[in-house]
Amino acid sequence: MKHLWAPWRISYILGPKPDECVFCLPEGREEDEERLVLHRGKRCFVIMNKYPYNNGHIMVCPYRHVMRLADLDQEEAHEMMDWLQFCSEVLKRHFHCQGINVGLNLGEAAGAGIREHLHFHLVPRWNGDSSFMAVMDEVRTMPEALGSTYASLKPYFENAPIPR
């Protein structure tokens, strides 16, 4: 029998499930670190994925609860692209990744886990990052705890050049 320990998931498994959308943020910033919010812009925000595909997996989300690209207004769409550009540079600089997957899953059939609130994924990639664990056993290993990654990425967003 094989065992893979993922103790950070137990709080999700045993904890109460939110009735509201996890991407609809409260006005106050008291929960930002707990929710892994790296930055709040004018029309969108940057948040870490609590269940990442790879170390450094972050997302850019609009504040408005929309599920179609066509529902974004021009200012939201432009600001989201600004943050995608900024975040890709942060990931390259901090993680020295050799590539980045940027993706948007629109609809459940396209793989959207939370289909009602669109969000872009940025996933750092390295040559050979699919180690023997992924190839042989369909398992990914994360080299750093989420809290440590949050603490190391947060300073990049403190003086971000994109208007707030």
User: Does the annotation count 78 as an active-site position?
Assistant: no
Query: Which tokens sit at 58?
Result: 């972050």
Tens of pLDDT, residues 136-161: 455 666 778 888 999 999 999 998 88
Give the C-alpha separation, 141 to 147, whole Å.
16
The pLDDT value recorded for residue 13 is 65
Strand partners, 120: 60, 104
Q: Which CATH number fits domain 31-155: 3.40.50.720, 3.30.70.3450, 1.10.150.120, 3.30.428.10?
A: 3.30.428.10
Span 27-39, average pLDDT: 95
The pLDDT value recorded for residue 145 is 86
CA atoms within a 13 Å half-sphere pointing along the CA-CB vector of 123: 15
Q: Which pTM was predicted?
A: 0.80
Kindly report the average pLDDT of the chain as a whole number.
86
The pLDDT value recorded for residue 129 is 76
The pLDDT value recorded for residue 52 is 87
The pLDDT value recorded for residue 163 is 64
Give the C-alpha separation, 121 to 123, whole Å.
6
Q: How far is CA 3 from the centre of its chain?
A: 27
pLDDT at 38 > cutoff 50:
yes
- CA angle, 161 as apex, 70 and 39 as ends, to 5°? 65
Give the C-alpha separation, 62 to 43, whole Å.
6
Tens of pLDDT, residues 41-59: 999 999 999 888 888 999 9
Strand partners, 44: 62
Q: Where are the domains of the chain?
A: 31-155
Span 113-123, average pLDDT: 92
- CA angle, 52 as apex, 9 and 159 as ends, to 5°? 115
Q: How confident is the model at residue 17 (pLDDT cuts 50, 70, 90)?
A: low
- Tell me if 64 sits within 8 A of 46, measured CB to CB: no
Nearest to 117 by CA among 107, 125, 129: 107
Which among 3, 96, 119, 121 is annotated as catalytic?
119
Tens of pLDDT, residues 57-104: 999 999 999 999 999 999 999 999 999 999 999 999 999 999 999 999
